[in-house]
Amino acid sequence: MDVFLPPGRIPDRIGPLKRFLPPMEQGVVTRALEDLEPGGDVVLDPFGASPQLVRELAAAGKRVLIAANNPVTRFVLRHTLEPIPINVLQTALAHMATTPKDGSRMEPFLLDLYRTRCSRCGETISADFFVWDREEHTPVLRAYACASCGLAVEEAATEEDRRLAQSFEGRSLHYALALQRVVPARDPDQRHAEAALAIYPGRALYALTALMNKMDRLSLDAGQQPAMFALLLSCFDAGNALWDHPEGRARPLQLSASAYYKEANLWRAMERAVSEWALVDNRIACDAWSPGKDPEAGGVALFPGAVRDLAPNLPAGSVDEIITVLPRPNQAYWTLSALWSAWLWGRQTATPIMAALRRRRYDWGWHATALRAALNHARPVIKGGGPVMAFIPEAEPGFISAALAGFDKAGFAITGRALRQDMGQALFRWTAASSVTLPIEEQVLAQRSKAAATDLLRSRGEPTPYAILHAAVWSDLAQRRLLSSCWQKVGTPPLAQVGDAMESALEDRNDFSRLDPWSEIESGSYWLTNPRRTEPPLADRVERLVVDLLRQFDALSAIEVESRTAQALPGLLTPDRGLVLACLRSYAERQAGMETWRMRDQERREERQRDCDQIGTVLMDLGKRLGYAVRKKQCIEWRVSKGPLVYRFQIQASAAMGEILADAQEPRLTLVIPGGRSSLLNEKARRDARIKAWLERDNCVVKFRHVRRLAADRKLRRENFAECLVLDPPEQQDPQMRLL
């Protein structure tokens, strides 16, 4: 069940509405497709949430069929695949700029809404943005660049600024116009629309209604219309109070104003929108879906609706694969989408998502039910045994529960899982099977939770964060089709039932210990109370793999290193990106001006072996000089002549800790490592509370150079050796070393 989760890179150009679209890395889908059986070419994406996914599917030559119910996402999808040429965007902007408005033109009219006075030269200028205090409901800061005197500053807003801003507040004509575009007068949904509008400052609504009214009146041709929609859409997003100042939440989920939010200058936002939409990617043919016609190879057919409405129009078995990015419930985005769709395309187009206006809360149980309903419709259209692959780029336990429960209940049998925990990236695979209901005993969930968690901890060989244990338990239950059975039994998505069973299993101190008991259960890290038959610690295996790769290849990019380690350690062993990078930094350096890394010369095998041998000799000699009986076995031992063992030195070139943690002899080992390993050891200690505790008990790690320094110190005596051993002069210390 454990599969390879390819790493990707941040896309070169992210495009519009990026804070609401799934943060899919570039290249992940392309690489993951290579692991599917060849053959299928008609792919259904039932959610149409990620332009990045669709672009890569099409680039791989698939015939991509997309159900996209949200008109905003659909528009972004379409014009990401078929980018609007920059000159068309510029023409649309110029058109809007010069259109007459109140005896002036639109551009100066909008700029004037944000007028402020330069604090140095007194010139009236248009501010770039104001910052509002949500509680005071007034602007407190202003940012501008004065063209007259050159002052560029962010400073306190003035009384004049506040008066101007306040003059747009209240329910005046522009407010009524903005509302009317969303709901007719006296509509029961009016209060929901009002609640959504409240996320816009009055001045933004004033500017936006001015823009929308002009848009309605401009006679735009079919080529220019999408460009105008695009610019306005970016403006709608720039204009709301979901922009923290200073930058905070990057991906808003709830429609609530930030404590301090940026009020953007909306003409400036229109100007910026041009570059947001002017994507340079290759054009991918994107047609409206039509019945009985497959999309062309490498092309996309876009269905303007939900998969439940598309599926009945598709012949059974006409889809080879389902590949998708699962959407995350996002109250902010869905509510705004309803608003924006109505503003741009009218209430009719917005109808399918108007329900989003009414709903304030989405929980994971709701999401499981929604996924199940959508997937139920998709199942009959997929060819028997056809693969299903879903990416979750913002994975968290609740999301994974909802996905696994939803798929299981809709009749899909899980075949693959992978989680890169520190990046919150997950990948799951299924095949279309049938809905299964097994009789389910009370105890079985807790028993399976315990078994799955134990197996996972043994295979990782190290304390493991809750999120990974959660994925192990849920995917184990899904594999046994127990999620749908449990759902059937309780009549609702079994999130609470499975959650409780798992929690009670993990809280049994006979089986599991929580290494940071003061933290919340979901942020804790767990280990076996009696570890037996465990693999070596995962972190040590990752380090080993990275070193082997660096020895094998002259130069490698970080993404290649990450990819190869993730292939060797798939599924729920997928190494954290932070750990892979820590290993890379410890042994290699990035080549100047390039993406590739090379192993440092002193880390070459022969060099390091020589180092270790030499340090061994130095320690043997030093022991003798201090009058100890010395011996070299697995480690170097210093013993009082005919007396007790006093020191045991373990010399190693790596930061491997598995054997050291397992060593139970007295006296405790002193670990002797190259200085370059210390930040990696710190990273391991951050991940593994056992290592942290081992390091904290007393100073037990010595770097090679300190051993050499001690050997050169002629004043060193047996009496002051222990004291000197722990003295690593600060100027020699690695700035990242906190624990050593």
Rounded least distance, CB 127 to Zn ion, Å: 12
Asked if residues 76 and 17 have their Cβ atoms less than 8 Å apart, the reply is yes
Give whichever of 149 and 712 is closer to Zn ion, judged by the CB atom.
149
Rounded least distance, CB 121 to Zn ion, Å: 3
Q: Which residue has the tokens 């050159």?
A: 150
Rounded least distance, CB 255 to Zn ion, Å: 37
Give whichever of 120 and 624 is closer to Zn ion, judged by the CB atom.
120
> What span, in angstroms and rounded, lies between the C-alpha atoms of 712 and 729?
15
Rounded least distance, CB 579 to Zn ion, Å: 51
Report the site for Zn ion in 372-391 (rule: CB under 5 A).
Answer: none
Helix (H, G, I), strand (E, B) or coil at 661: helix
CA atoms within 13 A on the CB side of 77: 31
First CA to last CA across the chain, in angstroms? 39
Give whichever of 155 and 698 is closer to Zn ion, judged by the CB atom.
155
> What span, in angstroms and rounded, lies between the C-alpha atoms of 400 and 407?
11
Tell me which of 24, 53, 93, 118 binds Zn ion, using CB under 5 A: 118
Interacting stretch for Zn ion, rule CB under 5 A, among 31-39, 111-119, 373-381, 460-468? Answer: 111-119
Tell me which of 98, 148, 519, 552 binds Zn ion, using CB under 5 A: 148
Residue 146 interacts with Zn ion (CB under 5 A): yes or no = yes
Interacting stretch for Zn ion, rule CB under 5 A, among 150-158, 341-349, 443-451, 646-654? Answer: 150-158
Rounded least distance, CB 149 to Zn ion, Å: 3
User: Which residues, at least 6 apart from 611, have a Cβ–Cβ distance to it below 8 Å?
Assistant: 602, 653, 674, 704
> What span, in angstroms and rounded, lies between the C-alpha atoms of 589 and 581?
11
Give whichever of 120 and 360 is closer to Zn ion, judged by the CB atom.
120
Report the site for Zn ion in 597-616 (rule: CB under 5 A).
Answer: none
Rounded least distance, CB 339 to Zn ion, Å: 37
Give whichever of 97 and 151 is closer to Zn ion, judged by the CB atom.
151
Interacting stretch for Zn ion, rule CB under 5 A, among 80-88, 110-118, 427-435, 603-611? Answer: 110-118
Residue 722 interacts with Zn ion (CB under 5 A): yes or no = no
Q: What is the DSSP string of 178-197?
A: HHHTTS-TT-TTHHHHHHHH
Q: What is the DSSP string of 239-304?
A: HSS--BSSS--SS--S----SEEEEE-HHHHHHHHHHHH---SPP--EEE--TT-PPPTT-EEEES
Asked if residues 526 and 453 have their Cβ atoms less than 8 Å apart, the reply is yes
Report the site for Zn ion in 292-311 (rule: CB under 5 A).
Answer: none
Give whichever of 146 and 273 is closer to Zn ion, judged by the CB atom.
146
Q: How many binding residues for Zn ion (CB under 5 A)?
A: 8
Q: Which helix (H) or strand (E) holds 155?
A: strand 152-156
Interacting stretch for Zn ion, rule CB under 5 A, among 113-121, 160-168, 619-627, 699-707? Answer: 113-121
Asked if residues 627 and 718 have their Cβ atoms less than 8 Å apart, the reply is yes
Give whichever of 119 and 459 is closer to Zn ion, judged by the CB atom.
119
Give whichever of 129 and 260 is closer to Zn ion, judged by the CB atom.
129
Question: Which amino acid type is present at position 340?
Answer: W
Rounded least distance, CB 265 to Zn ion, Å: 17
Q: What is the CA radius of gyration of the chain?
A: 31
Give whichever of 112 and 244 is closer to Zn ion, judged by the CB atom.
112
Tell me which of 94, 145, 149, 156 binds Zn ion, using CB under 5 A: 149
Give whichever of 154 and 516 is closer to Zn ion, judged by the CB atom.
154
Give whichever of 148 and 447 is closer to Zn ion, judged by the CB atom.
148
The token pair at 627 is 């009058």
Residue 124 interacts with Zn ion (CB under 5 A): yes or no = no
Q: Which residues of 115-150 are buried (b: 16+ CB within 10 A; e: fewer)?
A: ebbbeeeeeebbbbbbbbeeeeebbebbbbebeeee
Q: Which residue has the tokens 């890169």?
A: 420
Interacting stretch for Zn ion, rule CB under 5 A, among 115-123, 160-168, 254-262, 366-374? Answer: 115-123
Cα 159 to the chain's mean position, in Å?
Answer: 42
Interacting stretch for Zn ion, rule CB under 5 A, among 139-147, 221-229, 364-372, 379-387? Answer: 139-147
Rounded least distance, CB 146 to Zn ion, Å: 3
Interacting stretch for Zn ion, rule CB under 5 A, among 50-58, 144-152, 220-228, 338-346? Answer: 144-152
Q: Which residue has the tokens 């050169």?
A: 712
Interacting stretch for Zn ion, rule CB under 5 A, among 148-156, 185-193, 197-205, 440-448? Answer: 148-156
Q: What is the DSSP string of 335-356?
A: HHHHHHHHHHH-HHHHGGGTHH
Rounded least distance, CB 142 to Zn ion, Å: 13
Tell me which of 37, 39, 108, 120 binds Zn ion, using CB under 5 A: 120
- Please, where are the H alpha helices in 444-537? 444-460, 466-479, 482-490, 495-506
Q: Which helix (H) or strand (E) holds 544?
A: helix 538-552
Give whichever of 144 and 649 is closer to Zn ion, judged by the CB atom.
144
> What span, in angstroms and rounded, lies between the C-alpha atoms of 194 and 579?
48
> What span, in angstroms and rounded, lies between the C-alpha atoms of 514 and 465?
10
Rounded least distance, CB 77 to Zn ion, Å: 44
> What span, in angstroms and rounded, lies between the C-alpha atoms of 728 and 337?
59
Rounded least distance, CB 111 to Zn ion, Å: 16
> What span, in angstroms and rounded, lies between the C-alpha atoms of 395 and 364?
12
Rounded least distance, CB 130 to Zn ion, Å: 17
Rounded least distance, CB 118 to Zn ion, Å: 3
Report the site for Zn ion in 259-288 (rule: CB under 5 A).
Answer: none
Asked if residues 463 and 452 have their Cβ atoms less than 8 Å apart, the reply is no
Tell me which of 94, 121, 152, 662 binds Zn ion, using CB under 5 A: 121
> What span, in angstroms and rounded, lies between the C-alpha atoms of 354 and 233?
17
Give residues in contact with Zn ion (CB under 5 A).
Answer: 118, 120-121, 123, 146, 148-149, 151
